[in-house]
Chains A and B, each alone.
Chain A
Amino acid sequence: AQSVTQLGSHVSVSEGALVLLRCNYSSSVPPYLFWYVQYPNQGLQLLLKYTTGATLVKGINGFEAEFKKSETSFHLTKPSAHMSDAAEYFCAVSDAGGTSYGKLTFGQGTILTVHP
């Protein structure tokens, strides 16, 4: 079975500060890893994903994440927070094994607050 742990249910940063959202996973097979963002009363939007290849993955809106196998981590970062980044962020791992990326195990979510 796979699981995802997001450390910190709430993270607060100042506008312009570094954003760091932590995600650790467990998986018995090579994982496919995802970060999604959810704005209030909206669906989930994919920020970025790691499947194979380069371990540093760049996504939309200036976000990036690094897959570290030795640490079983996939932390999300952004060098400079913007007010529009305020949302809930979910880390997820695919139960794919080569079948489909759509069956996901999600973390509990981290609510990001950005202060002016």
Chain B
Amino acid sequence: NAGVMQNPRHLVRRRGQEARLRCSPMKGHSHVYWYRQLPEEGLKFMVYLQKENIIDESGMPKERFSAEFPKEGPSILRIQQVVRGDSAAYFCASSPPSMNTEAFFGQGTRLTVV
């Protein structure tokens, strides 16, 4: 059973461009979480999604950031008009539908804005 797959592993974008980060959850997992890890900081929760639904987006910046988890395909975290401060590692985690099961993390996408 493959783990949580994130791609790309590294992404370089110029200021003002769009960044798209993809996350394929583990087989059978229908819950996806996105986290951001800024340099010298711990992980910060961004958004929690289930298939076709955003459950909790309390950690998402109000502008430029959006996330989706369509019925088919991976979850996408989209950052529009990137700025230098968006440079970070973005981690996705997934968990199965059953309650009380820990989430499994992907290896992350390291975004660098130049």
Q: With A43-B91, A51-B100 in contact, is A100–B43 under 8 Å at CB?
A: no
Summed over the interface, the residue pairs from A and B with CB atoms below 8 Å come to a total of: 66
Interface centre among B6, B35, B45, B102 (most CB of A within 10 A): B102
A108 is an interface residue with CB less than 8 A from chain B? yes
A34 within 8 Å of B by Cβ?
yes
Q: Which of B6, B45, B93, B107 contacts A105 (CB 8 A)?
A: B45
Kindly provide the distance from the CB of A59 to the nearest chain B CB, expressed in whole angstroms: 12
- Among residues of A, the one whose C-beta sits closest to the C-beta of B92 is A43
A107 within 8 A of B: yes
What is the CB-to-nearest-CB distance from A62 to chain B, in angstroms, rounded to a whole number? 20
Query: Interface SS of chain A: helix, strand, loop or mixed?
Result: loop
Range for the number of chain A residues in contact with chain B: 20 to 34
Whether A99 sits at the interface, judged by CB under 8 Å, is yes
User: Are A43's CB and B101's CB within 8 A?
Assistant: no
Q: Does A98 contact B (CB under 8 A)?
A: yes
Q: How far is the CA of A102 from the CA of B101 in the complex (A)?
A: 8
- Interface 1/0 per residue, B75-114 and A, CB below 8 Å: 0000000000000000101110001111111111010000
